Chain A
Amino acid sequence: MDHAVDAEQLAAGPGMLQRLDPRIKTLGLLLLIVTAVFVKSLVALAGLFAFATALALASRMTLRRLAGQVWTGVLLFTGALALPAIVLVPGDTVAVVPLLDWAITRQGLRGAAFLIGRAETAATFALLVILTTPWPQVLKALRSLGMPLVLVAILGMTHRYIFVLLETSVQLFEAKRSRVMGPLPGPERRRMAMASIVVLLEKSLHLATEVHLAMIARGYRGEVRLLDDFRIHVWDWFALTGFLAVAAVAIAWQWLYP
């Protein structure tokens, strides 16, 4: 929840990506995520990663924030998963692990670099979308990219009620904890978790009924309308051209420098 509030503040602040039209920005960054999955050259992947970092810095994001919110987590998870590949993937031996005599292969190293590079680059671009665009604007951008209106409306409400239900869950656990002394045994804690889930479900269904009645009372008849106040400026077109050019060069790199 703290991260979400922090992200809202950053999205509302000044910065290069914050100035762009959300539709152009979402489209461009999604395109770059797909490009990061498409490229078949490590140099192009490194270039995309550098581009993502440069965009983040130009959007008032610090390297510390990027490292804390994406890079370290992805490196720990994907790195742990990719590390054994350097000896498990068969190929040309480039070194041998001392004592264990395991052969480190060129193909294994490249495979691990691809996996970590793609995961880091795609996650950085995804973070840029979220940290520089308020959630309602992301949804409106998705709508203009062709997502059905009803799904956009559901996503907007879901996002809102996640925070409501998270708060309810925290209150449920606090209420229970404040009434017990000392740590509970395992079976009792399991029972508490089950009880919380069921109570949360009942509260959710009750909430859905209340929200529905409130919507009906305000004139909702099954049709959703979104306010669309976006304006595309010249710099948005420049930015989109830039995103497209970077994506094209990254994909073409394998043929330009085979």
Chain B
Amino acid sequence: MHIPDGYLSPLTCAGAYVVAAPFWFVALRMIKAQLQTRLLPTVAVVSAFSFVIMMFNLPLPGGTTGHAVGLAVAPILLGPWAAMLAISIALFIQALFFGDGGITTFGANCVNMAIVGPLVAYGVYRLICGNTPLTSRRRVFAAAAAGYLAINVAALLAAVAFGIQPLFFHDAAGAPLYAPYALAIAIPAMMIGHLSLAGLAEAVISGGVVAYVQKVDPRLLSPSVPPVTAIGGTKAATPPAGWRPTRALWAGLAALLIASPLGLLAAGIAWGEWGVDGFRDAAVRAQIALASGHVAPPAAVPQGMERLSSFWTAPMPDYAPAFMHNEYFGYILSATLGAGLVVLSVLLLWGLLAGARRPRAAPNP
């Protein structure tokens, strides 16, 4: 999943750096506020740990082996922000020193494996395990599910990055300048391996590590639990915090995502959302007039609208990804991606505000 140099266009690489930069900034601020003089040694050693566990080969059922990326292990054991920094630094050293992953694509690799992957893993882990005791079996399942989902979301993002290259970046004769496969090929090619072997490796290693930690030192799991839960499930008198109060909202969001194809039942075009082609189509023109109090639309497409219509081409126009032939699943995938992006943005904003509100601590003597 480490994307090498040359696979992504400079524009995609720059976009990935722009996406990653605020997360790095917030993560560094959060960790600096927590650790103060411990920042340097702790982040350095933990990054080295993240690097080393990426080299562990794991024997899988069926006789094969796989290596885990630690997308779930790191946020569960270190918390999401420390994991973000540690995996980014490990990826940087891999790219520069060991040639695993590119330098121009470092931002994209971090977005996939150091930012979105750990955030998904952390969210899924917390959502499933809730406030169960640190030694609960549910945490093992939660970690396995978190690892499996996180690596697959990261792989999907990498596949989308590959798949959009031939759409936007090709020469005059149509030869692709970067990764040559469209989404319809890139997504299945990436996902088959990750939904099976790599996902299994990540699930086994995440669940296995949590099960082992529960036996030897459950306190290591405390960075990824809300402060109300103590070892053995004893609760403090503080009000509930973390994800629990919003659990019903998350369930509702999931139900809405599944119900999103209901939108296909709605006939016609929403008022004001007409496209350039709509102005040229007699049936759509009649619909516009009917919806506008029988005021006929202009005879020709407005010039500004025509000029700006090609300014941005959405990767998934009309909530129908080109690679998804079933429109219902296309709707659900679009809704999931959209909701995920919104949640990520809110998390980022939350982190920024939390960092800004935290008073500057005096340096340790």
Contact = CB atoms under 8 A, between A and B. Distances in A.
Interface of A: 4, 30, 33-34, 36-38, 40, 69-70, 73-74, 77-78, 82, 85, 88-92, 106-108, 110-112, 114-115, 117-119, 121-123, 126-127, 129-130, 135, 138, 150-151, 153-162, 164-166, 169, 186, 189-191, 193-198, 200-202, 204-205, 207-209, 211-212, 215-216, 220-222, 224
Contacts of B92: 155
Interface string B18-44: 000000000010001000111111111
Contact of B103 (A30, A166, A189, A198): A30
19 contacts: A4-B97, A33-B5, A33-B104, A37-B13, A107-B173, A114-B178, A115-B176, A123-B99, A154-B40, A154-B44, A154-B47, A158-B45, A159-B93, A164-B48, A169-B56, A208-B42, A221-B37, A222-B37, A222-B364
A169 B185 CA distance: 39
A250 to B, nearest CB: 14
Interface stretch (B128-136, B206-214, B323-331): B206-214
A115 B37 contact: no
Contacts of B177: 40, 111, 114
Contacts of B52: 162, 165-166, 169, 200
Contacts of B102: 122, 126
Contacts of A69: 99
A78 B4 contact: yes
A194 B209 contact: yes
B205 A197 contact: yes
Given A126-B96, A215-B37, A110 B171 contact: yes
A88 B181 contact: yes
B174 interface: yes
A4 B89 CA distance: 18
B173 A110 contact: yes
A122 B6 contact: yes
B168 interface: no
Interface of B: 4-10, 13, 28, 32, 36-49, 51-53, 55-61, 63, 73, 77, 89-90, 92-93, 95-97, 99, 102-104, 166, 170-171, 173-181, 185, 204-205, 208-209, 211-213, 216-217, 220, 363-364
Contacts of A207: 45
Contacts of A151: 28, 89
A90 B174 contact: yes
A204 B46 contact: yes
Given A153-B40, A159-B93, A197-B53, A114 B175 contact: yes
Residue with the highest number of chain A CB atoms closer than 10 Å, among B96, B173, B185 = B96
Contact of A198 (B7, B40, B181, B213): B213
A123 B2 CA distance: 13
Contacts of A38: 10
A79 B173 CA distance: 22
A193 B58 contact: yes
Contacts of B213: 198
B37 A159 contact: no
A38 B104 CA distance: 11
B6 A161 contact: no
A194 B212 CA distance: 7
B243 to A, nearest CB: 24
A197 to B, nearest CB: 5
B15 to A, nearest CB: 14
B174 A208 contact: no
Given A37-B10, A165-B48, A165-B52, A224 B40 contact: yes
Nearest to B162: A81
A210 to B, nearest CB: 8
A154 B41 CA distance: 7
A200 B49 CA distance: 7
A196 B178 contact: no
Contacts of A220: 37
A190 B59 contact: yes
Nearest to B214: A198
A121 B6 CA distance: 9
B96 A157 contact: no
Contacts of A123: 4-5, 99
A148 B36 CA distance: 16
Contacts of B77: 201
A204 B96 contact: no
A15 to B, nearest CB: 19
A126 B5 contact: yes
A45 to B, nearest CB: 9
Given A89-B175, A130-B97, A158-B89, A119 B5 contact: yes
A122 B36 CA distance: 38
A37 B103 CA distance: 11
A119 B8 CA distance: 10
A130 B102 CA distance: 14
B175 A157 contact: no
B61 A186 contact: yes
A118 to B, nearest CB: 3
B56 A161 contact: no
A88 B166 CA distance: 12
Contact of A158 (B4, B44, B58, B63): B44
B164 to A, nearest CB: 15
Contact of B41 (A73, A92, A166, A215): A215
A106 B171 CA distance: 12
Given A119-B6, A202-B220, A193 B56 contact: yes
A189 B104 CA distance: 37
A75 to B, nearest CB: 12
Given A119-B5, A153-B40, A193 B205 contact: yes
Contacts of B63: 186
